[in-house]
Structure 1
């Protein structure tokens, strides 16, 4: 009795201390998560370098991390700096009156009178829509400028988080296999189940980050290039916006290039608008339709509709980290249910079958008697 009481009390203290440690780390959960994601993504490269350079874990982990910084971190910082600069410039142009959202919406309204008349026939107040869209554009540009100013003012915090992420990633790369084995020993789920769940975590994280980021960057670059060719203002800004929106499957990048095409039509730039529509549908759209299933859906073994809904739900609930955590939670959900169906239902079926066998044996024995 005393031993059972001590065990329960210890488990309560274990849960309490673990929860408290989680609260202590809460300000750095983003850095911790992305450090783990980088370690998972670049683990195959680290394994290759270990094979080539021999058993030198510190040197190999440092080299892997250096390659990660050159391939991922520095390009993202450069794109972010350009985004901040063009975002501030865009807001300043609206403030000075060089860009007038209301006038732009008037041009679009005049260029498509059939749409305007149809909406008015159904009782839709197009003037009210125009006013709200104009206010939304101004508010959005102001919010964009505020966010970019905030990023500039919090540069020290940003670089601190990046430094912590890279610092932790080094140790996860070096000691990741040992930590996984430690978790397998500690968790009371059964070694085979734990190995499957850790493998699923690595598989989904690698596929989602690799796939979604590659697709988003490709679409953003393609969109920025065509906007630059068509001489649309702030092509880098809109290219980065398309990159972020492309994290939303199927519809993301079109939220930028389609309104721009409408604007070009309304200003009489017919061939530029037609080129943008065709380019957006065929080139940018095909990049999403071809690359995303190949890089995300196939590797995660998740159906496309689950990838779409889990990505949207993850971003809604968890922000930018949700585009990875959403599909990850969905994959773990399916993995747990697969374990339940495979193991528990089979066990129940076996028990039921054995009970039926016993009953049949009893009936046979009575018949013999």
Structure 2
């Protein structure tokens, strides 16, 4: 009886201390997550280097991290810096009245009166739609300017988070396999389930970051390029907006280039409008269909509705990191329920499938 009381007391204290530790590191959720993501994504590079430099774990982790900095992090920081500069300039132009988003919408409405007739069928008030679009545009530019000011005022916090991410990534690259083995021994979920969940976590993290973000970057780069070629102002800014919008299923980057093409047609620039439309449909639109199966793989792709819900929910809960963390949580949700259905809801069928798989393996061997 006393042993049971001791065990329960210890487990209760273990839970309390673990929750206290999680609360302690909560302010650093972003750096910790991206350090884990870096370790997962660059693990194949780590293993490749270890085969050529056996036993040099510190050197291999350092080289992997340097490769990550050169390929991913430093270009991202340069892009963010340029984006903030353009965003601040755009906000200043809106504030001074030099740029009037409502005027562009009015020009489109005057050039294409059929739009008003189409919206009337669904009882949509174009004036309210116009006001909402203008307020969204102004609010977005104001948000970028505010973030730029915040980064300037919190430079120390930014570099602290960045340094913490790099520092943790080094140790996770070096000791990642040992940490996973330790977690498998510690967690009371069953070793096979834990290995499956860790494998799913790594698979989805690679798919989300390497796949979704690279596809988004490709579509944003293509969109920014065609805007620059056509002489549309703020090409870099709109390219980044298209990259973010491309994470939204079904609509994607078309949220940006379609209104731009309509505006070009409204002001009589039919050649540029046709070029932008053709490029948007044939190049930007097809980039998703061509690149995503290659980079992500069909097995890890969530349904579009779940990607949409998890992405928007992730942004609300985790901020900008939610673009990755939201779909990751959704994928783990699906994985947990898949294990439950297979092992608990229909154990006889699960045992039969395992027996069949084992027989197939013996037959192949």
Instruction: Tell me the TM-score normalised to structure 1 length.
Output: 0.88
Query: Secondary structure of 2:296's match?
Result: helix
How far residue 294 of structure 1 moved from its aligned partner, in angstroms, is: 3.3
Query: Secondary structure of 2:232's match?
Result: coil
What is the correspondence of 1:136-155 to structure 2 with a 5 Å cutoff? Answer: 136-155=136-155
Greater displacement, 39-48 / 125-134? 125-134
Match of residue 72 from structure 1: 72
Match of residue 209 from structure 2: 209
What is the correspondence of 1:73-222 to structure 2 with a 5 Å cutoff? Answer: 73-119=73-119, 124-222=124-222
Query: Secondary structure of 1:158's match?
Result: helix
Preserved contact between residue 342 and residue 350 of structure 2 (Cα < 8 Å): no
Describe the shift of the 1:251–1:297 C-alpha distance in structure 2 as closer, same or farther (beyond 3 A). Answer: farther
Greater displacement, 317-326 / 285-294? 317-326
Counterpart-to-counterpart distance in 1, 2:2 and 2:245: 59
Match of residue 354 from structure 1: none
Query: Secondary structure of 1:92's match?
Result: helix
User: How large is the RMSD of aligned CA atoms in angstroms?
Assistant: 2.2
Q: Give the number of equivalent residue pairs.
A: 351
Query: Residues 16-71 of structure 1: CA distance to partner in whole angstroms, max 9, x if unpaired?
Result: 00000001100001110110010000000000000012210000000000000001
Counterpart-to-counterpart distance in 1, 2:54 and 2:46: 11
Describe the shift of the 1:301–1:99 C-alpha distance in structure 2 as closer, same or farther (beyond 3 A). Answer: closer
Counterpart-to-counterpart distance in 1, 2:264 and 2:105: 12
Describe the shift of the 1:231–1:32 C-alpha distance in structure 2 as closer, same or farther (beyond 3 A). Answer: same
Query: Secondary structure of 2:210's match?
Result: helix
Match of residue 259 from structure 2: 259
Instruction: Tell me the TM-score normalised to structure 2 length.
Output: 0.89
Match of residue 268 from structure 1: 268
Query: Secondary structure of 1:180's match?
Result: helix
Counterpart-to-counterpart distance in 2, 1:120 and 1:187: 58
Mapped pair 1:225 → 2:225:
yes
Structure 2, gaps ≥5 residues long = 352-365
Preserved contact between residue 86 and residue 234 of structure 2 (Cα < 8 Å): yes
Query: Secondary structure of 1:233's match?
Result: coil
How far residue 277 of structure 1 moved from its aligned partner, in angstroms, is: 1.2
Counterpart-to-counterpart distance in 2, 1:350 and 1:95: 63
Counterpart-to-counterpart distance in 1, 2:53 and 2:75: 27
Describe the shift of the 1:307–1:125 C-alpha distance in structure 2 as closer, same or farther (beyond 3 A). Answer: closer
